[in-house]
Chains A and B, each alone.
Chain A
Amino acid sequence: MLRYIGKRLALMIPVLIAVTLLLFIIQAVAPGDPAVMALGQDASETEKFDWKEERGLNDPLVVQYFNYMKKLVCGDFGNSYSDGRPITQSIVSRWPTTIVYATVSLLIASVFGIALGVLSAVKRGKFFDSIMRVISIVMFSMPNFWFALLLIIVFALDLKWFPVSGFYGPRYWVLPVVALMITNSAGILRFTRSSMLDNLQADYVRTARAKGQTEFKVIMHHVFNNSLIPIVTYVGSCLASAYGGVIVLEQVFSIPGLGSLLITAINHRDWPLLRGCVILIAVTTAVMNLLIDLIYAFLDPRVKARFKNDAARKGKKALKKASENA
Chain B
Amino acid sequence: MKKNEHNRTIRRRSMAGEVIDRLVRNKTAMIGLLILLIVVFSCIFANVICPEGYNSNDLPHRYMSPSIKFLFGTDSFGRSMLARVLYGGRNSLLIGFLATCLAAVIGIALGAICGYFGGAADIILMRFLDVLNAIPNLLLAIVISACLGTGKLNTVLAVGISFIPGFAKQVRGPVISLMGSDYIEAARSIDATNTRIIVRHVLPNVLSPLIVQFTLTIALSILCVSSLSFLGLGIQPPEPEWGALLSAGREYLTHYPYLCTFPGLGIALTVFSVNLFGDGLRDAIDPKLKN
Across the interface, A262 reaches (CB within 8 A) one of B127, B139, B219, B272, namely: B139
Given contacts A146-B260, A150-B264, contact A248 B230 (CB under 8 A): yes
Asked whether, in the complex, the Cβ of B250 is within 8 Å of the Cβ of A281, the reply is: no
Is A241 engaged at the interface, CB distance under 8 Å to the other chain? yes
Asked whether, in the complex, the Cβ of B264 is within 8 Å of the Cβ of A146, the reply is: yes
Is B136 engaged at the interface, CB distance under 8 Å to the other chain? yes
Asked whether, in the complex, the Cβ of B134 is within 8 Å of the Cβ of A282, the reply is: yes
Asked whether, in the complex, the Cβ of A19 is within 8 Å of the Cβ of B131, the reply is: yes
Across the interface, B135 reaches (CB within 8 A) one of A19, A30, A145, namely: A19
Give min CB distance, B108 to chain A, whole Å.
Answer: 22
Question: Which residues of B, 243-265, contact A by the 8 Å Cβ criterion?
Answer: 246, 250, 253-254, 257, 260-261, 263-264
- Report chain B residues within 8 Å CB of A150: 260-261, 264
A-B contact count (CB 8 A): 118
| Complex Cα gap A26–B154 (Å) | 14
Give min CB distance, B131 to chain A, whole Å.
Answer: 4
Give 1 or 0 for each of B184-219: 1 = CB within 8 Å of chain A CB.
Answer: 000000000000000000000000000000000001
Asked whether, in the complex, the Cβ of B127 is within 8 Å of the Cβ of A285, the reply is: no
Is A198 engaged at the interface, CB distance under 8 Å to the other chain? yes
Contact stretch, chosen from A53-61, A134-142, A211-219: A134-142
Asked whether, in the complex, the Cβ of B147 is within 8 Å of the Cβ of A282, the reply is: no
Asked whether, in the complex, the Cβ of A146 is within 8 Å of the Cβ of B268, the reply is: yes
| Complex Cα gap A172–B252 (Å) | 21
- Report chain A residues within 8 Å CB of B271: 141-143
Asked whether, in the complex, the Cβ of B268 is within 8 Å of the Cβ of A143, the reply is: yes
Contact size range, B: 35 or more
Question: Which residues of A, 116-162, contact B by the 8 Å Cβ criterion?
Answer: 124, 137-138, 140-143, 145-146, 149-150, 152-153, 157
Asked whether, in the complex, the Cβ of A247 is within 8 Å of the Cβ of B131, the reply is: no
Is B94 engaged at the interface, CB distance under 8 Å to the other chain? no
| Complex Cα gap A19–B264 (Å) | 34
Give min CB distance, B150 to chain A, whole Å.
Answer: 10
Given contacts A146-B260, A241-B136, contact A141 B219 (CB under 8 A): yes
Asked whether, in the complex, the Cβ of B230 is within 8 Å of the Cβ of A18, the reply is: no
Asked whether, in the complex, the Cβ of A22 is within 8 Å of the Cβ of B131, the reply is: yes
Give 1 or 0 for each of B129-156: 1 = CB within 8 Å of chain A CB.
Answer: 0110011111100111011110000000
Asked whether, in the complex, the Cβ of A281 is within 8 Å of the Cβ of B231, the reply is: no
Question: Which residues of B, 216-248, contact A by the 8 Å Cβ criterion?
Answer: 219, 223, 226-227, 230-233, 246
Q: Which 6 A-B pairs have the closest CB atoms?
A: A146-B264, A141-B272, A197-B291, A141-B271, A26-B147, A18-B131
Which A residues form the contact surface with B (CB < 8 A)?
14-16, 18-19, 22-23, 26-27, 29-31, 124, 137-138, 140-143, 145-146, 149-150, 152-153, 157, 193-194, 197-198, 240-241, 244-245, 247-248, 251-252, 262-263, 266-267, 274, 278, 281-282, 285-286
Cβ contacts A to B, 16 pairs, < 8 Å: A14-B127, A16-B134, A19-B134, A26-B144, A30-B146, A137-B279, A140-B275, A141-B272, A143-B271, A149-B264, A150-B260, A150-B261, A153-B260, A247-B142, A248-B138, A266-B142
Q: A137-B276, A247-B142 are in contact. List 5 more A-B contacts (CB 8 A).
A: A19-B135, A26-B144, A146-B267, A262-B139, A263-B231
